[in-house]
Structure 1
Amino acid sequence: MEKFSISLIVFTVFWGLIGIVLPFLIPKGPHRRLIQTMLALTSACCWLFWLCFYLHQWKPLFGPQISSVDARALKVLWGQDL
């Protein structure tokens, strides 16, 4: 199994437990429904933030931007003449 798949499964299970299982374990009280909603929304937002952050590093939309003049200067300075 690929490293990406393992981390995706682990974090999905972790935030799924917090957002789906944990709300059912909240004791009865006047604010039970509010706490359940907060747990579900928090876990969904944290999982989505983690997923966007991880995907952005895994497949960036664009690489480093460098002008052609700078690239030529670096090649000369690093010993790779054109």
Structure 2
Amino acid sequence: MEVILMIIFVTAFWVAVAKFGPILFSKAPQQDLVRCVCLLTAVCCWLFWLCCYLAQLNPLVGPKLNQNTIKIIARSWDNPISQG
């Protein structure tokens, strides 16, 4: 649930940047260019953040531990290991 809330919160932030960013530069001579730059900046930053955030949720490469190391870690953390 907190993953969804985080994605919604950050998405709302970047939507606000895209919507209200051009207002800061409303008197610029090239208003269309400024709007385009603000919009593209918000979209690229949001997409970069989303890719990094989702990649950390389910990493493709994880630690490779042998069986003895796993047992030592489990014993030190007081977790019973099922004998299988």
The TM-score normalised by the length of structure 1 is 0.71
Which sits farther off after the overlay, 25-34 or 48-57? 25-34
Q: Please give the residue correspondences for 1:52-63 in structure 2 after superposition, counting only pairs within 5 Å.
A: 52-63=51-62
Q: Alpha-carbon deviations, 1:3-38, whole Å to 9, x = none?
A: 101110100000011113433x24243221111111
Unmatched tracts of structure 1, length 5 or more: none
Q: Alpha-carbon deviations, 1:23-75, whole Å to 9, x = none?
A: 3x242432211111110000000000000000010111221245xxxx26746
Q: Which residue of 1 aligns with 2:15?
A: 16
Write the letter of the residue equivalent to 1:5. Answer: I
Aligned residues: CA RMSD:
2.3
The TM-score normalised by the length of structure 2 is 0.69
Count the aligned residue pairs: 73
Q: 1:39–1:75: structure 2 CA closer, same or farther, 3 Å change rule?
A: closer
Unmatched tracts of structure 2, length 5 or more: 76-84
Identity in percent: 34
C-alpha distance in 1, partners of 2:67/2:56?
28
Q: Which residue of 2 aligns with 1:44?
A: 43
Runs of 4+ in 1 over 2 A off after TM superposition: 20-23, 71-76
